Structure 1
Amino acid sequence: MNFSSALGPAPPPSPGYDQDFLLWLEDTAAKLKARDFEHLDLEALIEEVGSLGRSQRRELSSRLTRLLEHLLKRLYVTSPQDDRGWEQTIRHQRLELRLLLEDSPSLKGLWVDRLGKAWTEALALVRQDYPDTPFPDEWPFEADLEAMLDRPFWQTPP
């Protein structure tokens, strides 16, 4: 007697991490829920969990850079027709930063370090786009989390 046929059809092989990421995630979640630890692809799971933290830190830096870039444009570039668009981008980045920090409050501890790097990147970008505009070498306002996420700096010049 063929035992494999007596047990029914064999389950389909687990999707490979590199073959179909979404399917691998769903399969891994199902195995974790079922406590089927024996069949987990532990190496891929460890790699993916580690990358989640890197991804959030990268998102914090990216959003801060974009926020500072548009704050600089709104504050120093004379282009009234663009002010509304820059303010919309500022509001959007602030909202996304709030949501990110709400989901991962530990990112607040990286604020000062990431803000300094984001400032350098944002300043380089706007100086390249607007070479005739005099931008400050240092951020002239308070740089604490609350101010950066709430204050309309362009309404009260430095």
Structure 2
Amino acid sequence: MVRAILTKPFVGDLGLLLLRVFTGALLIHHGYEKLANIDNFADAFVRPLHLPFPILLSYVAAFSEIVGSWLLITGLLTRFGALAVAGTISVAIYHAIITAGFNIYLLELLGLYFAAAVAILAVGPGCFSIDELVSRRFEPDLEFTSESLEQLLKRTPSLSDVPAAR
């Protein structure tokens, strides 16, 4: 038990859990606010970018924030949720730069949401997630430990073990 705690990145997985839950919980209300007045959001944020189908794209933005946030919070299909959030936030960053320039007060929160989503997308959900439970259920032998790495290295011949070619 002590070895498992000392050799596994327990604190890193706990950090990923906190990052996922806080990012999702703090971002989800933005999606619900968009749905509350979708025409206002389309007029203020989508139409200034001259994108086609502003109402449809407003719904896409709202649902990607809501569904993506729930996926982050639960840890189910986490990378898809992070991708949805990162995509929506990247458009929001583009909108902020186009309309207000490099205004740090507009960009700081968007940058934090974007960085959190990209970090989760790159690293994955961690072991405290539904994704981990599903992967353990369907691939129980998939767990990669330091012991299996040591066994693999012992079986692999080193360069000094290979006979020299003549």
Could you tell me the TM-score, scaled by structure 1's length?
Answer: 0.30
Higher helix share: 2
